[in-house]
Amino acid sequence: MAYKFNFILMVIAPVLVFYLVKYNIWSSIYALNDLSIIKNYTLQEMLNYQAWSMVVAFLGLAYINSKVSEDIRMGRISAFLLYPFDFWKFHTGSFLGFQLTQLTICLFTVFALLMSGLVEWASWIPLLQGIVISLEVGVLWFILMFSIALLSFWMEETWVLRVMLITISQFLSGSIIPIDLYPQWLQSILAYTPFPYLTFVPIKIFMGQGEYGFLSSFFIILFWIIIAFFMLKVIWNKGVKLYTAAGI
């Protein structure tokens, strides 16, 4: 029973609660200011956007691996240094298993959203493209989270950095406010960072808004994955050199 509750609280609840909060915030903003449209977003379109944001969050941004930091700090990484199976392979396997679960949750969520009318149905193609892009974002997010966790080789606590990245991402990725509502100068800067591709671009693909091309987005995210991967390798190699198994 404990494991079932843990699963619901850790995996499903944060994303669901965050969606409900955003739903209420945006509904209130439109109602209190008697607005029918903010830039290009009617209330329905904004709520549509936030619903897809939840779907992207399930697939792309749900993986927060605090276990890596704990394994390093507590010296449990020593066991992985002994196995003929690398530490990063284990956590990658763990991530892939997690994503399989998330895909199931995501599909169920999309079905529930479509049935309830909280999102508008475009067609199968944007849905499948959105899922593929979100899964790709998941890989990028995993690498970023893993890199931060590896800083435990040098730092006592990395959760602060993790929270900082999550918070900054939520604002700059379009998770809370669509990026096209930001000033043009900020949008121009963000275009050269991976942030828009974490949430905003996948949402637009789900919504079938064709100006955010599936193929170009796929390759841009792939580019950021390659950059992040090389950064991860450098951190891992330096970290393992430094590692002294404390507490063995």
Partner 1 sequence: MIIKCQNLTKRFKRATKEAGLLGTLKSFISPQHTLVEAVKDFSINIDKGEMVGLLGPNGAGKTTLMKMFTGIIAPSDGEVSVLGFEPFKRDIEFRRKISLVMGQKSQLWWDIPAMDSFLLLKAYYEIKEPVFRERLDELALLLDVTDLLTTHVRRLSLGERMKMEMIACLLHQPEVLFLDEPTIGLDVVAQMNIRNFLISYQKQYRTTIILTSHYMADVEALCDRVALILNGQGYFDGPIAKFESLLGRDKFVSIIFSQAPNKLDPIWEKLFPEWSEDSTRVELRISEDNFREIASEVLSKYPVLDFSTDKLPIERVMKSIISKPELVGRS
Which residues lie near partner 1 (CB under 8 A)?
3, 75-76, 78-79, 81-85, 243-245, 247-248
State which residue, 18 or 98, has the beta carbon closest to partner 1: 98
For the CB of residue 43, give the shortest distance to partner 1 in the complex, in Å: 44
For the CB of residue 9, give the shortest distance to partner 1 in the complex, in Å: 15
Q: What is the token pair recorded at 52?
A: 């897809």
Close Cβ partners of 51 (under 8 Å, ≥ 6 residues apart): 19, 113, 118, 119
- Cα–Cα distance measured from residue 146 to residue 87, given in angstroms and rounded to the nearest whole number: 11
State which residue, 67 or 117, has the beta carbon closest to partner 1: 67
For the CB of residue 58, give the shortest distance to partner 1 in the complex, in Å: 23
Positive/negative CA dihedral, 72, 78, 79, 83: positive
- Cα–Cα distance measured from residue 9 to residue 23, given in angstroms and rounded to the nearest whole number: 20
Look at the chain and count its residues. 248
For the CB of residue 74, give the shortest distance to partner 1 in the complex, in Å: 8
State which residue, 2 or 115, has the beta carbon closest to partner 1: 2
- Cα–Cα distance measured from residue 143 to residue 25, given in angstroms and rounded to the nearest whole number: 31
State which residue, 3 or 124, has the beta carbon closest to partner 1: 3
> Would strands 37-38 and 41-42 be described as parallel, antiparallel, or unpaired?
antiparallel
For the CB of residue 17, give the shortest distance to partner 1 in the complex, in Å: 25
- Cα–Cα distance measured from residue 76 to residue 69, given in angstroms and rounded to the nearest whole number: 10
For the CB of residue 83, give the shortest distance to partner 1 in the complex, in Å: 5
CA distances from 114 to 15, 107, 109, 192 (A): 18, 11, 8, 33
Q: Is 178 helix (H, G, I), strand (E, B) or coil?
A: coil
- Cα–Cα distance measured from residue 190 to residue 107, given in angstroms and rounded to the nearest whole number: 30
For the CB of residue 243, give the shortest distance to partner 1 in the complex, in Å: 7
Contact status, residue 59 vs residue 137, Cβ threshold 8 Å: yes
